Copies of this chain bind each other. A is one copy, B any other.
Amino acid sequence: MNTKRFILPENEIPKAWYNIVPDMPNKPLPLLHPGTQKPMCAEELFPIFSQEASRQELNTTDRWIEIPEEVRDQYRNYRSTPLVRAYGLEKALDTPAHIYFKNESVSPIGSHKLNSALAQAYYCKKEGVTNITTETGAGQWGAALSYAARAFGLELAVYMVRISYEQKPYRRSIMQTFGAQVIASPSMSTKAGRRILTEHPNYQGSLGTAISEAIELALQTPNCKYTLGSVLNHVVLHQTIIGLEAEKQMEMAGEYPNTVIGCFGGGSNFGGISFPFMRHTLREGKRTRYIAAEPASCPKLTRGVFQYDFGNEAGYTPLLPMFTLGHNFTPANIHAGGLRYHGAGSVISQLKKDGYIEAVDIPQLESFEAGTLFARTEGIVPAPESCHAIASVVREALAAKEAGKQQTILFNLSGHGLIDMAAYDQYLAGNLINYQLPDEVIRESVRELAPLV
Contacts and interface: CB of A to CB of B under 8 A. Distances in A.
Contacts of A163: none
Interface string A363-403: 00000000010011011110000000000000000000000
Contacts of A65: none
A238 B73 CA distance: 34
Contact of A421 (B1, B7, B76, B170): B170
A314 interface: no
A298 to B, nearest CB: 24
Nearest to A151: B379
A419 B108 CA distance: 13
A5 interface: yes
A419 to B, nearest CB: 6
Contact of A170 (B10, B73, B418): B418
A178 B419 contact: no
A333 interface: no
Contacts of A170: 170, 418-419, 421-422, 425
Interface in A3-41: 3-5, 7, 10
Contact of A173 (B7, B151, B176, B428): B428
B421 A376 contact: no
Given A77-B84, A84-B77, A381 B177 contact: yes
Interface in A156-186: 169-171, 173-174, 176-179
Contacts of A418: 110, 170, 174, 418-419
A177 B380 CA distance: 10
A376 B156 CA distance: 13
Place the interface of chain A in its size category.
Answer: 35 or more
A416 to B, nearest CB: 8
A440 interface: no
A425 B110 contact: no
A73, A147, A372, A418 interface centre (most CB from chain B within 10 Å): A418
The secondary-structure label for the interface of chain A is helix
A173 B72 contact: no
A77 B5 contact: yes
Contacts of A197: none
Interface string A338-381: 00000000000000000000000000000000001001101111
A150 interface: yes
Contacts of A72: 1
A419 B77 CA distance: 21
A72 B169 CA distance: 37
Given A77-B84, A77-B379, A376-B179, A174 B1 contact: no
Interface of A: 1, 3-5, 7, 10, 69, 72-73, 76-77, 84, 88, 106, 108-110, 147, 150-151, 169-171, 173-174, 176-179, 372, 375-376, 378-381, 416, 418-419, 421-422, 424-425, 428
7 contacts: A1-B76, A4-B10, A108-B381, A108-B416, A150-B379, A170-B170, A173-B424
The 7 closest A-B pairs by CB, nearest first: A170-B421, A173-B421, A108-B379, A173-B425, A108-B380, A4-B76, A177-B424
Given A1-B69, A108-B381, A170-B425, 15 more contacts: A4-B10, A5-B10, A77-B378, A77-B379, A88-B151, A108-B379, A109-B379, A173-B424, A174-B421, A174-B424, A177-B424, A177-B428, A179-B376, A418-B418, A419-B421
